[in-house]
Structure 1
């Protein structure tokens, strides 16, 4: 049955008029042959983790998944799983074009079902036990109705899908409100600086260069950045470089530790190794070995 977790995923089967999701897997176990794990796409995506041993790459972030984790994505940020035990990897995932919400009645769109995707863009929810049970119930209903070639069941699917969007909106409401409340001057400058760092972190960046990029005083920028992120600008730059190094170690077997050190923007191997161990909990050499060992289990510090 397509999308049921027992047959082929939806994208491997002929589509019919009532299948409107771009890609769909329900309670799907194992890996899909021929698919690139670290990828992008123009659609929005909802990902729910049921069980397994998996890290999830979301841009520069690496998330150690737990059962009941829910991730929403705008799609264009590179993302994908790093799975250590494929036979135990179980998830539900579907992607959809944002215009899909136009199907809903105008009154149903009044609360903006896509607000979490537009405001949070990419966000990881660690659901409470009650929220986990509610989410799994909604996903079960979506799958039950989505797999039926019938206009009545199609409408029931739409209601279940809308319910999931409302569930996500409720889960993210406090974070959304906080971002909108503090999103004036602080978000403007900090957002510009983070975007600049994400594009140029591999270069020889100095604090004065970053200050010039956003055109405010050094003291004011440092204050706004710490208020928004809880980190110094330098700490964020180093963490961005270390996260990129982790991704290179996970997805590439050939590069040496020294090569990765310089590739991500560090000038001194000893400095890179010290910060890597402090942030990750392993030396770069140990992390690289664990990343490519059979069934290797990496524990990441937050």
Structure 2
């Protein structure tokens, strides 16, 4: 079992419990161990890939930025572990047995109150989520854990090349010339380790970049051409298909969220 690279319009934290899984974040890949805790920013592309049929168990929670802000205080920024690190770096810590039990206990309480309509269940849910976020941030602030990156060098270099040239024309010929390798070989290796064709990956990255420009207040036309699209109509179609919303509606939605 595997999933394609994807992004969420939310912050995600993910506790790995069991299985035989590789987890890909941006241009890195990690073999997960039970107790590994991951934090993923909305801008970070990621995927999980099960290497066999063994049982795959994890806990995932997705939270909107505005919700994190509502739980934070002037002295406790609960989005710290998501925001204050380089993109695609420092996403993983390992929970020892004590921390893991603590996390699971809170998560079980959260699951119970979410399923309940008893008086105060919404308040309790907020408190349990806040506890999980405090625990997660505390672990990340004190982490000295570094997991070995097992992404093949060719795939990482291909991703880096694409990232550096998103606003330019990128073709298989360009990649072949850059790495002195057969373009078919590059394509096959890339698909094997990312679950995406090069074309699909480039398109996903360009849409992600366009979203960033729109969040920053660029016009739709500016976002289109700055993110590497040469055809405006194709940009509108591609953005709407991948994001599930038109660029215009995305820009307005972000503007409303920012104002609120």
Judge conservation of contact 1:60–1:240 (CA < 8 Å) in 2.
no
Judge conservation of contact 2:20–2:54 (CA < 8 Å) in 1.
no
Judge conservation of contact 1:101–1:109 (CA < 8 Å) in 2.
no
- Name the structure 2 match of 1:116: 81
What TM-score do the two structures reach when normalised by structure 1? 0.47
Q: Distance in 2 between matches of 1:92 and 1:267?
A: 42
- Name the structure 2 match of 1:43: 10
Q: Please list the CA deviations of residues 38-74 of structure 1 after superposition, one character each: whole Å capped at 9, or x if unmatched.
A: 2012211111111011100101111101111110010
Q: Which runs of 5+ in 2 are unaligned?
A: 145-150, 160-171, 196-260
Alignment of 1:53-202 (within 5 A): 53-86=20-53, 88-104=55-71, 108-120=73-85, 122=88, 123-174=91-142
The structure whose RCO (Cα within 8 Å, separation 6+) is larger is 2
Q: Work out the number of aligned pairs and report it.
A: 168
Q: Distance in 2 between matches of 1:56 and 1:263?
A: 27
Q: Please list the CA deviations of residues 119-173 of structure 1 after superposition, one character each: whole Å capped at 9, or x if unmatched.
A: 0255111222222222222221221222223451111111110011100111111
Q: Equivalent residue of 2:13, what SS?
A: strand
- Name the structure 1 match of 2:179: 266
Q: CA RMSD in A?
A: 3.7
User: How far off its partner does 1:109 sit?
Assistant: 5.0
Q: Which runs of 5+ in 1 are unaligned?
A: 1-29, 177-237, 247-258, 274-283, 292-302
